[in-house]
Structure 1
Amino acid sequence: MKRVLKILATAMVVVAVPGVANASSSAKPAQGELQQRLDQVVAAGSVGALAEVRTGDRVWRGTSGAAVLGTTRAVPVDGRYRIGSVTKTFVATVVLQLADERRLRLDDPVEKWLPGVVPNGQNITLRQLLNHTSGLYDYLYTIPFPPSQAFLANRWRTWNPEEQIRQALVHPPTSETPGTTYAYSNTGYLLLGQVIEKVTGKPYAKAIERRIIRPLKLRDTELPGTSPWIRGPHPRGYVPIEYADGVRLVDYTEMNPSVMGAGGEMISTNQDLNKFFAALLAGDLLPRHLLDEMKTPGTETKKYGLGLAWRDTECGVRVYGNDGDALAYNVWSFSTEDGRRQATLALTPNHDGDVDDAVKAFLDEAVCGHNDRK
């Protein structure tokens, strides 16, 4: 689930992995720089943060801040968290695998697979759902969000994609002509989840588990469905809620993730996300021509292809991946095209600052500075 709005505008742990970054004295300055950048992410607006950086066969893992608001409890370096819109890259990968198997085509109209569901569905393609140029209204804008207290009323509610899609399609499209304008829409990924089920005969979650999670042995990655729990070690996450005496952070770690569905329900770890993106970019999950399709933007104005985003670092190195916002958890996971340099950073925001610049500085350090000083 991408950040749909910005809401209201240290403990340190460095884990030494045997045989990797701490093996030589020349790597120590890079560790210090990465830790400093991670501390700055927390100072900019986080309760806690955890990161994993991979450079060749070297691995650095670190944490900063607190796992629980108001305490000094260290963030677990192997902590699990909700990955939000990084889920979309998993969904997109399955859709592209089905295209490779010739079970669907990227330029199939939505109407072919979901007849009568989407107005103008004969002119909206699966490709346009994937790259956010469908023009379909985002269903997330139809439900209450923080700091409204009404947001908490839906905390344990089980949503189904049919009702969310219906709520979205009551609203007019964001563009008159599909395929011409980028407008981020979680509705498109709910529809893609349904298309996967229509093609395979199984829920999209089962397809992701069978095609990605199990083959890559992503042991800490799951699609929780309606289960509100995050199993295993994890930091607590919070959302700001307005009360009569002001805005207070409310623990929102446990919640029914069906509200995010195929657009953002997954739970994972830094290690698993780095492993996933390394496999994806290496061509282990898709043939090269479809990976190239994944990297092709839907419009000239956005660095977003078919469920895959990219950014250019300060040293001119392009990295591919995605970022996600599950309100109480934020994550950025990016890798160089050759997979030799990877960085995944997750945090629990305190909703009292803008972390974007600090996150950018961390990713730049991970891809550029850490590599230069290894």
Structure 2
Amino acid sequence: MDFLQREVLTAALHEQSAAMAVFITGKNVPVPWGIAAGMADSSTARPLTIDTPLRVASNTKTFVAATVLRLWEQGAIVLDAPIAALLAPTLERLLASRGYPIDDITVRHLLSHSAGIYDHADDPRYFKAVLANPTHYWTREEQVGLSCHYAGPTNAPGKEYRYSDTGYVLLGDIVERVTQAPLAESVRHQLRFDERGLASTWWEMVESQPAGTQARARQFLDDEAITDVTHLSATLDLYGGGGLVMSVRDLATFQQDLFENRVFDNPGTLVEMLRQGDHEGAEEYRLGISVKRVGGRERYSHAGFWGTAVYYSPDAGVSVAGFTTHRAGRPALVELLENALRAAAEGVEDED
């Protein structure tokens, strides 16, 4: 069932100016496959492959949310519990001092970006500070403190969807306090990375790079000039909003496992993850996963800042992930992935 038009996708990939890799799998893909074009590191003529790891930034949020939901199905976390009693006291004091109603903000609010937490990472002052001091070791407390310094609540808890990295930094702290283990260890254990064969996936700085994996690709920010951001301190995005390094094969594989009910013990947990809230904008984002209509059909997706994206099409039974080494190439990458999903949908209709 090669309805994904491998040749067309391959040709489109080779037309791009930025290096890209795509991997496709799923229950309706008899033989998973992937393609890559361009260089992982042009200075050493090292090509990008489907097993080359990159920083996936906000794609990490789906993994953190799935970990929270695994803890929920085990009875260790209550999704509608206030975060006040769950946070480290230093974070609790920071939020309270800025006027956040921490007794009204719940774990579910953080997961769905409806807590009204100001996003420190989206404030231009933060990224300016990161670029000005690329080796600075950012702490969780420092990032939450910056959020509180930059602005206060964006809205009342449960009022509206408004994306917030800071909210997931708080979730990372909650996971660590509930499990009494580092976030990286908890995510790996709860989501069974090793059991499901995610051989090119690790939490940067906190975990060792798995033996036998390729070196990370160089990654670039394209603005007025091309900036190599490969060696920016991983701490700029390490505490739950981001942190994972992985290959495009691993990202597509996990998305498949998640939506084909191989991550949670109870199928009802995935239902809970995808249940739409009643706040404004809830149709755009559930618990750690975006929702988008592509080709008239609902797809579940997430993207990462530097140039990564993944989709799952329930009707087609297809998971597709893509990486690009240049931030500016992400729109073109998303277009390629969504065209692949449209082709998948057409293939299913033809079979019917």
The alpha carbon displacement at 1:268 in A equals 0.8
Amino acid in structure 2 at the alignment position of 1:65: G
1:133 alignment partner in structure 2:
114
1:347 alignment partner in structure 2:
324
Shift in CA distance, 259/182, structure 1 to aligned 2, threshold 3 Å: same
The alpha carbon displacement at 1:65 in A equals 3.4
Asked if the contact 2:9/2:340 (under 8 Å) is kept, the reply is no
Shift in CA distance, 155/362, structure 1 to aligned 2, threshold 3 Å: farther
Shift in CA distance, 370/264, structure 1 to aligned 2, threshold 3 Å: farther
Asked if the contact 1:107/1:126 (under 8 Å) is kept, the reply is yes
The alpha carbon displacement at 1:28 in A equals 9.3
2:284 maps to which of 285, 303, 307:
303
1:237 alignment partner in structure 2:
219
Say whether 1:266 aligns with 2:247: no
Distance 1:180 1:350 in 2: 31
User: How does the TM-score come out when normalised to structure 2?
Assistant: 0.84
Distance 2:10 2:108 in 1: 40
Amino acid in structure 1 at the alignment position of 2:221: V
Name structure 2 gaps, 5 residues minimum. Answer: none
Asked if the contact 1:282/1:338 (under 8 Å) is kept, the reply is no
Asked if the contact 1:34/1:366 (under 8 Å) is kept, the reply is no
Q: Tell me how many residue pairs correspond in the alignment.
A: 333
Asked if the contact 1:303/1:309 (under 8 Å) is kept, the reply is yes
2:84 maps to which of 111, 116, 121:
111
1:320 alignment partner in structure 2:
300
The alpha carbon displacement at 1:319 in A equals 2.3
Instruction: Report SS of the residue matched to 1:215.
Output: coil
The alpha carbon displacement at 1:191 in A equals 0.6
Asked if the contact 1:129/1:188 (under 8 Å) is kept, the reply is yes
The alpha carbon displacement at 1:126 in A equals 0.4
2:6 maps to which of 28, 31, 42:
31
Amino acid in structure 1 at the alignment position of 2:77: L
Distance 2:134 2:350 in 1: 46
Instruction: Report SS of the residue matched to 2:135.
Output: coil
The alpha carbon displacement at 1:357 in A equals 6.4
1:58 maps to which of 31, 39, 44:
31
Say whether 1:48 aligns with 2:12: no
* Bigger mean CA deviation after superposition, 91-100 or 55-64: 55-64
2:145 maps to which of 162, 166, 190:
166
The alpha carbon displacement at 1:98 in A equals 1.1
Say whether 1:292 aligns with 2:271: yes
The C-alpha deviation readout for 1:129-162, integer Å capped at 9, x for no partner, is 000000011121456466x5x5433322211111
Shift in CA distance, 365/50, structure 1 to aligned 2, threshold 3 Å: farther
Shift in CA distance, 258/151, structure 1 to aligned 2, threshold 3 Å: closer
* Bigger mean CA deviation after superposition, 71-80 or 166-175: 71-80
Name structure 1 gaps, 5 residues minimum. Answer: 1-20, 22-26, 242-246
Asked if the contact 1:249/1:350 (under 8 Å) is kept, the reply is no
Shift in CA distance, 154/362, structure 1 to aligned 2, threshold 3 Å: farther
Amino acid in structure 1 at the alignment position of 2:60: T
* Bigger mean CA deviation after superposition, 358-367 or 117-126: 358-367
Instruction: Report SS of the residue matched to 2:171.
Output: helix
User: How does the TM-score come out when normalised to structure 1?
Assistant: 0.79
Asked if the contact 1:35/1:62 (under 8 Å) is kept, the reply is yes
Fraction of identical pairs, as percent: 25
1:254 maps to which of 225, 231, 246:
231
1:275 alignment partner in structure 2:
253
Shift in CA distance, 353/255, structure 1 to aligned 2, threshold 3 Å: closer
Distance 2:43 2:347 in 1: 32
Amino acid in structure 1 at the alignment position of 2:311: F
Amino acid in structure 1 at the alignment position of 2:102: G
Superposition CA RMSD, Å: 3.0
The C-alpha deviation readout for 1:267-308, integer Å capped at 9, x for no partner, is 111221122112211222222222112112333534210001
